[in-house]
Amino acid sequence: MFNLKKITLNVSAAILLVGSFSGCTSGMTNMGSSDAKTSATGSAGGANSQNANQALERCSAPLGTVSFHEDRDDTWYQILTRDLRLPSTIPVLRLMTQQSNCFVIVERGKGMNDLMMERQLMNSGELRGNSKFNKGQMVAADYTIIPSITFSEKGTGGIGAVAGALFGSVVGAVAGGIKTSDASTMLTLIDNRSSVQLAAAEGSARTTDWSLGLGAFGGSAAGGLGAYSKTPEGKTLVSAFMDSMNNLIRSLKAYKGQEVSGGLGAGGQLGVQGGNNSYGLEGVMTQRVYNDKTKLYEYEIINKERTQKWHFTSAKKIPYKNDLIRFNLLNNAPDIKSFIKLESKYVQKYWK
């Protein structure tokens, strides 16, 4: 059997102890306090970083330049800023990204207004002649990272009712302050030139908030004193985004480009009845034999990857033997009218 009186006294003593510490430290400021930090810590300067979270994945060299796009019309952003009253996710993502050394970050957000203002001042003649704001200096963004929050909930997992049933109302009130905040986030990497999605990574985190709910102690305890008082939502989201960033970097370290036979955006391999989805294929005409009996030329084309073959006949002599050509399919056979020579003597150059 539990000694409810002893438990109640211990809890009361703990509350008084916390209150005494709270009174002693009132008004003190601790610069760089670990209590105020999130998972994203430290700084970054070029390829070097200071006091970065050791759990953050790193790259030996950047993979390219990157910008960030935050969909501020999406529901998750409205919840983030309106309900949780948290700011944009981009600053912390930029810190993580530069510390990882996986990408060089280029400005495409609000700072672009200032960049363009300087150029306007230069064009107006207001800046000094040696300001060096010449055309052709801005760096292109190879990739775009798109963040999103797929799930975020505050206060899941309260255990006050269970503890109250077991130990009584006082202990139940204290345990009722134990809450968990869960968050799940996504980072998506897009190739800006092709618009192809290169990678996507999910991340998650959970933060437990130990705050003492003292309303049950009566009027003398009014005011809701909190032990280790924290706001877990923001720290949970930062941790979830770091988890997403780590997963994204790991996937990029093991990256292998997706290949579609016939080329990307050339129709794909999923045919539709009555449709023709085989456009822009590339292959080599490896065979051209004249058949005296049929009075037709017999042709064979092999794709560049040498994984597919097409055979067809024609009365016309096509002058692309051993050349690399681009072509479309018509009724599952190469369409002669679509042939375009891309490179002469391809077999001799690359397949011998």
Question: pLDDT band for position 159 (50/70/90)?
Answer: very low
To the nearest 10 degrees (0 to 180), the angle between helices 90-100 and 232-253 is 40
Question: What is the pLDDT at residue 273?
Answer: 57
Distance, CA of 98 to CA of 95 (rounded, Å): 5
Quick check: 319 and 332 in contact, CB under 8 A? no
- Domain segments of the chain: what residues? 4-16+39-106+141-253, 281-350
Residues 6+ apart with CB under 8 A from 240: 149, 183, 184, 185, 203, 204, 205
Q: Is the pLDDT of residue 223 over 50?
A: no
Taking residues 161-177, what's their average pLDDT?
45
The reported pLDDT for the residue numbered 280 is 78
Residues found in the chain: 352
**SS3 label, residue 133:** coil
DSSP-assigned letter for residue 321: B
Q: What angle do CA 262, 268, 272 make, to 5 degrees?
A: 135
Joined together, the tokens standing for residue 41 give: 């810590």
Q: Is 223 left (phi over 0), alpha (psi -120 to 50) or beta?
A: left
The amino acid at 44:
A
- pLDDT tier for residue 129 given thresholds of 50, 70 and 90: confident
Q: What's the mean pLDDT in 227-255?
A: 82
pLDDT for residue 343: 92
Q: How far is CA 223 from the centre of its chain?
A: 42
Kindly list the distances between the CA atom of residue 296 and the CA atoms of 86, 129, 166, 292, 323, in Å, as whole numbers in the listed order.
73, 73, 92, 7, 20
- Give the amino acid at 168: G
CATH architecture of structural domain 4-16+39-106+141-253 = 3-Layer(aba) Sandwich (3.40)
| Other residues' Cβ atoms within 10 Å of the Cβ of residue 336 | 13
Average pLDDT of the chain is 79
Asked whether the beta carbons of 158 and 179 are under 8 A apart, the reply is: yes
Determine which of 23-32, 38-47, 314-323 has the lowest per-residue pLDDT on average: 23-32
Cα–Cα distance, 2 to 11 (Å, whole number): 14
Quick check: helix, strand or coil at residue 329?
strand
Residue written as token pair 């760089």: 32
Structure tokens at 55: 């759990």
Q: How confident is the model at residue 143 (pLDDT cuts 50, 70, 90)?
A: very high
Calpha distance 109→120 (Å, rounded): 18
Question: Are 232 and 209 a contacting pair, CB within 8 Å?
Answer: yes
Q: Which of 59-68, 208-217, 334-343 has the lowest mean pLDDT?
A: 208-217
Question: Is residue 198 scored above 80 in pLDDT?
Answer: yes
Of 303 and 275, the one with more pLDDT: 303
Decide if 71 contacts 148 (C-beta within 8 A): yes
What pLDDT, on a 0 to 100 scale, did the predictor assign at position 284?
A: 95
pLDDT of residue 264: 75
Cα Rg of the chain, angstroms = 32
Closest CA to 172 of 217, 208, 207, 206: 217
Least confident of 55-69, 223-237, 313-327: 223-237
Closest CA to 203 of 183, 188, 180: 183
pLDDT at residue 281 in the model: 87
Q: Give the C-alpha distances (Å, rounded to integers) separating 297 from 289, 312, 324.
A: 5, 8, 19
221: confidence class by pLDDT, cuts 50, 70, 90: very low
